[in-house]
Amino acid sequence: MRTLAILAVATVFGVATLTQRVPDPSASRIVDLTHALGKGTIYWPTSPTKFSLQQLSYGKTDGGWFYSSYSLCTPEHGGTHLDAPIHFAEGKRTTDQVPLEQLIGSAVVIDITAKGAANRDYRLTVDDVAGFEQRYGRIAAGTIVLLRTGWSRHWPDVKAYLGDDTPGDASKLSFPSYGPDAARLLVEDRRAGVLGVDTASIDFGRSTDFSVHRIAAAENVVGLENLMNLDQLPPTGATVIALPMKIEGGSGGPLRAVAIIPR
């Protein structure tokens, strides 16, 4: 099911009527996949700025009621966020151009937690995908593919999460993610709509060519990075809603992602 609501048209006494079926909250569990933006938010080491929240108003107004307001500033790519295809592919979709249908859909979760714990530079392989499909079935076109590494347990410890905390230097990073061959299979053959991960990048930390980003972007596939709570999702059966801040012409943006899981 690609949307939260299903609209159906029925004819009653010759008059077309519109009925809407919405999910019963008591029949579903909702999981937040998003780290809150704040002082502890992790950004790429070369980012010139980080998250800033400036208080503009806070307190009782002259009229006697309470009022608060803030100004925020953040790079597009930090914390839980979306990478739009144009981030690594000229002429491809910007953040505001990504279809909503691509960001709302059925998800699969491929678990490499044990392999990542044994090798923090581990990259998802074609064999890993084959093993998943042998157990759970072929990954359908348009699927939101989520890679669970277990890395969100390190958040917000920058050194544990990124493998290095040297300001301005991204050459020593170390964390697991997708491998290029697996990404090519998922994007070009299975036609996945989204690649997501609970680390800082859909490329592994030591990558110098960002091949997974380029493979995904070339096919207008978006990336979701710095997700959390993937351990609360089943391998199949969850519906994910991943809506970024709609930045006109943007290469990405802060993301609020949730999963809906039938009880």
Render pLDDT for 169-199 as a digit per residue (tens, 0 to 9): 999 999 999 999 999 999 999 999 999 999 9
Asked if residue 173 lies in contact with residue 161, where contact means CB atoms within 8 angstroms, the answer is no
Nearest to 42 by CA among 197, 158, 144, 172: 158
Per the domain annotation, does 65 fall within a domain? no
Per the domain annotation, does 131 fall within a domain? yes
Indicate whether this model's pTM tops 0.85: yes
Residues 6 or more apart from 175 whose CB is under 8 A from it? Answer: 116, 120, 121, 149, 151, 161, 162, 163, 199, 200, 201, 204, 205
Domain that holds residue 242: 24-49+75-262
Per the domain annotation, does 56 fall within a domain? no
Looking at residue 250, the DSSP 8-state letter turns out to be: -
Per the domain annotation, does 70 fall within a domain? no
Residue 226: give its domain's CATH number.
Answer: 3.50.30.50
Render pLDDT for 54-106 as a digit per residue (tens, 0 to 9): 999 999 999 999 999 999 999 999 999 999 999 999 999 999 999 999 999 99
Per the domain annotation, does 112 fall within a domain? yes
Nearest to 196 by CA among 260, 105, 96: 105
Total structural domains in the chain?
A: 1
- Quote the tokens at residue 183: 């990404």
Per the domain annotation, does 142 fall within a domain? yes
- Quote the tokens at residue 244: 């970024």
Per the domain annotation, does 239 fall within a domain? yes
Burial of 29 (0-12, 13-18, 19+ CB in 10 A): middle
pLDDT band at 136 (very low <50, low <70, confident <90, very high): very high
DSSP SS3 for 226: coil
Render pLDDT for 9-32 as a digit per residue (tens, 0 to 9): 343 434 444 444 555 667 899 999
Per the domain annotation, does 60 fall within a domain? no
